[in-house]
A and B are shown apart, each in its own frame.
Chain A
Amino acid sequence: MEILVCVRRVPDTSENEIQLSSAGNDIERDDLVYSVNEPDNYAVEEAIQIAANAGGNVTVVTVGSEEDEEVLRREMAMGANQGVLLSDDAFAGSDGKGIATILKALVQKGHYDLVLTGTQAEDGGAQVGGMLAALLDYPFASLVNAITVLDGGKLKISREIEGGNREMSEIDLPCVLSIQTGINEPRYVGMRGIRQVASVEIPTFGTSDLGVDPASVGTAGAKVKRTDYFMPVLGKGAEILQGSQEEIIDQLIELMKAKGGLN
């Protein structure tokens, strides 16, 4: 099975204190530590496992610049067979549909049976997977937390729904799935893997390689534009208890009793 996994390099929220830029329409990006978007890493692990069990090949792709190549190498060191970087000045400023348009061109250029994305980018809005499926006219399932390969070009998939229930579905290949964290335990990147992929060339495709109209992507094609970025004003939800430690504990117990948290 040929599997394509769409990954993204995002600011690592566990390593950074995110602050607004002075212009106020973005976060301060100098000195940020980046890493692979966590849900995407689960998607790659799932793809590697499917390929190991059912046979096949895993390709990781990202839309970005040279700097984004590091997440492709990371995922290749983890076990993906190859990486593709989609990079072009015309891609800058793409909205969700723009990214999906670029990815669609790659999917049509290759022959992928299964396309995986993470459930959402940590700095995004969970748009690309669904839009990509629609543009390709492929079936789509979101929030997938288990996959079994069935005979006859089908997958059995599970999705967690409210209340902890599980919904099981069958889906025809080719399809697009967005993968939920927790579907597996992503492996560590091994030292041997890092060395093995260090010298592997990662092909880069731009608008002309992909046959993408520059006017349909990037800032030119974006119909969703970010206008503002701000920290909400602190609300009045918090109550600071005053007094000695013992007094604070007593007050806390009373409060918890009053709210039904303690019997």
Chain B
Amino acid sequence: MALKFKGVDFIEFDTLLNDDERLVRDNTRKFIEENLVPVIEQCNRDGRFPKELIKPMGELGFYGAGLKGYGCAGMSSVEYGLMTQELERGDSGVRSFVSVQSGLCMYPISAFGSEEQKQKYLPKMALGEILGCFGLTEPDAGSNPSAMRTRARKDGNEYVLNGEKMWITSGSIADIAIIWAKVENEDNLIRGFIVETDRPGFKAADVHGKWSLRASVTSSLSLQDVRIPLDNLLPGSGGLKSPLSCLNQARYGIAWGAIGAAMACYDCSLQYSQFRKQFRDQPIASHQLVQEKLVWMISEITKAQLLALQVGRLKDVGKAKPWHVSMAKRNNVWMALECARMGRDILGGNGIADEYPIFRHMANLESVKTYEGTHDIHTLIIGEHITGYAAF
């Protein structure tokens, strides 16, 4: 049944993009179509991250694509967004991997790192030769990261780190972890550290039994008296705003990525409804209730595209604020999850089988709704901005 994915463009959205932006999107789409789509259902079934794509994605410049210099592609925010859209049309887990490598690991090194750290890590991370993970969330500190318990203590020429991190994408495959900890000798100021994962006392254990993001590695990290040189501190980091600025980068990519997942669900649902016949041998696409669902999906996808594009354009001129990104992440992930649920409904019983991508996207999007600031936390970020009252 599956026909080639041709994109979802109801209002000539493409005319709002320039040649380079379309080129980035089309080439990422081609790569994903040829390399991820054929294997993703089996990966999802097996709970396997397709490691074989790490190197090719690095060669194509997917990692840290929005950063300039140090072997990074130097893309605009809109180009970066379109790239993540196509990655997530493939799978949220694989997009998560790229987002973590880029927005959560390379970005903080670029923003808060020393020149030596940038030279040492960024070019190899851009190629996927060094993989990173981001340790902020803890078992008892999720939406409120300021409650973190992980501590760093300066001891001679070293920092000693202790703590637990949870829900860490790529934790057990990473070569380095960006660990956020309160520094005891500095009034418990939150600072970022580059921790090589082969240091004694560092352990990563994978989370098993996930119903979501099965094609991505999720781990917990344990740091017990992990000693790192003073040079591993990200010197420019200081306070909760440092990790939050990383999250803002990744959230922006998610706002676009969710559109990709929604497009996959819409495309599959539309095709299915045109083939599937019920009642008087008519395609179910001719049924009013099915049309209502499809129209809802295409309308919400179209609105989400415009929202993401405008936030991207603002970001490219340095005017995107955290609440803009929050609105895009909150709205677009919600709409994608609703599209997936409606799509599952249109496919009836077939919707629960992994022959079709919808249920996988639906399960993935439950995680996407929660991570990088839950739907509700983004509500409060926008709420604080418009009312002036913080309601956290």
A residues near B (Cβ < 8 Å) are: 14-15, 33, 35, 69-70, 73-74, 77, 188-195, 198
Contact = CB atoms under 8 A, between A and B. Distances in A.
Contact of B23 (A14, A33, A189, A192): A189
B interface, size bucket = 20 to 34
Contacts of A198: 20
Contacts of B74: 192, 195
Contacts, number: 53
A15 B6 contact: yes
A191 B4 contact: no
B61 A70 contact: no
B27 A192 contact: no
27 contacts: A14-B4, A33-B6, A69-B19, A70-B19, A70-B23, A73-B19, A77-B23, A188-B27, A188-B30, A189-B27, A190-B59, A190-B61, A191-B61, A191-B65, A191-B73, A191-B75, A191-B79, A191-B83, A192-B61, A192-B71, A192-B72, A192-B73, A192-B74, A194-B20, A194-B24, A195-B73, A195-B74
Contacts of A188: 27, 30-31, 56, 60
**Which of B26, B27, B30, B79: most chain A CB closer than 10 A?**
B27
The 8 closest A-B pairs by CB, nearest first: A191-B61, A191-B73, A192-B61, A189-B27, A192-B73, A190-B60, A70-B19, A195-B74
Contacts of B83: 191
Majority DSSP secondary structure for residues of A touching B: helix
Given A188-B30, A194-B20, 15 more contacts: A14-B4, A35-B26, A73-B20, A189-B23, A189-B27, A190-B59, A191-B61, A191-B65, A191-B73, A192-B71, A192-B72, A192-B73, A194-B24, A194-B27, A194-B73
A174 to B, nearest CB: 32
Could you tell me the dominant secondary structure of chain B's interface residues?
A: helix
A191 B83 CA distance: 9
Contacts of B27: 188-190, 194
B300 to A, nearest CB: 23
Contacts of A77: 23
Nearest to B22: A70
Interface in B69-86: 71-75, 79, 83
B180 interface: no
B62 interface: yes
Interface in B113-164: none
Nearest to B30: A188
A14 to B, nearest CB: 6
B23 A73 contact: yes
Contact of A194 (B4, B23, B62, B72): B23
Contacts of B23: 70, 73-74, 77, 189, 194
Interface string B12-51: 0000000110111011001100000000000000000000
Contacts of A190: 27, 59-61, 73
A191 B64 CA distance: 10
A35 B14 CA distance: 14
Contacts of B22: 70
A211 B377 CA distance: 67
Contacts of A73: 19-20, 23
- The residue in B20, B65, B72 that gathers the most chain A C-beta atoms within 10 A of its C-beta is B20
A190 B127 CA distance: 12
Contacts of A33: 6
Contacts of A193: 61
Nearest to A78: B27
